[in-house]
Amino acid sequence: MGEEAKEEFEPKIVGFTCNWCTYAAADLAGTSRKKYPPNSRIIRLMCSARLDPMFVLKALLNGADGVFFSGCHPGECHYIKGNFYARRRIAAIRTILKQFGLDDRFKSYWISASEGEKFANTMKSLTEEVKELGPNPLGGKIL
């Protein structure tokens, strides 16, 4: 892909965020008028433990250029231990994705409700990283 085409590439990013922390952080980023790229489509989960790793697989297989997950910091889960379980599942699915070189397209963060600025900055850096990676090769395949 030429340099010019790469600049035009606007990645589609699917994000899974927990209702209590990162979704609130996204809200805060909005109400604080922080600017961040509009490439992410956020799906709100009631807890990070709701993230079934199949969601990640499905998003990637359907051509999402990037997928991210974000929840409360470990130890600060609204439901006490949901993100501890989530962390194990994410570690497992990452290991599987890594085997096939897909792990670069799946990011995970811990962003609390008060970290609106961190959320905006994360979205900026994430979008840059995914732009750098280019389009998801799975998107155009006949699967």
Partner 1 sequence: MKGAELKREDLDGLLKGLLEKGVVDCLIVPHRAGKSVAYMLVKDADKIESSASALFAPSFSVNAANLVKGWTIKEKVGIVAKPCEIRAAVELIKLKQLDNESVLLITTDCSGAYTNQVYREHYAEIGDQVDSAKITELEGKGITIREACAICENRLADVGDIIIARGAGEDLVVAGLTEKGEGALTALELSLEDKDLERAAEKEKIAVEAKAKLASLPELNSLDALEEFLQDCIVCKNCRDVCPVCYCKECFFDQPLGDPVGGDLLNLAELRGAIGLPTGQLFYHLTRVYHVSTTCVACGACEDACPKDIPLTRFYPVITQKVQEIFKYEPGKDVDEPLPFTAYEEEELEECLR
Question: Which residues of this protein are in contact with partner 1, per CB under 8 A?
Answer: 53-54, 57-58, 61-63, 74-75, 81, 84-85, 87-96, 99-102, 107-108, 137-138, 141-143
Structure tokens at 65: 């250029």
- Check: CB of residue 9 under 8 Å from CB of residue 46: no
CB of 40 to partner 1, least distance (A): 18
User: What sign results for the dihedral spanned by CA atoms 32, 34, 39, 43?
Assistant: negative
3 vs 101 by CB, closer to partner 1: 101
Minimum CB–partner distance for residue 54 and partner 1 (Å): 5
Shortest distance, CB of residue 27 to partner 1, whole angstroms?
24
By C-beta, is 5 or 84 nearer to partner 1?
A: 84
What's the length of the chain?
143
Helix/strand/coil for 109 = strand
Closer CB to partner 1, residue 1 or residue 54? 54
Answer yes or no: are the C-beta atoms of 123 and 36 closer than 8 Å: yes
The single-letter DSSP state of residue 67 is E
Least distance (Å) between residue 122 CB and partner 1: 13
CA–CA gap between residue 129 and residue 104 (Å, rounded):
9
Nearest to 68, CA basis, from 6, 29, 111: 111
Between 75 and 134, CB nearer to partner 1: 75
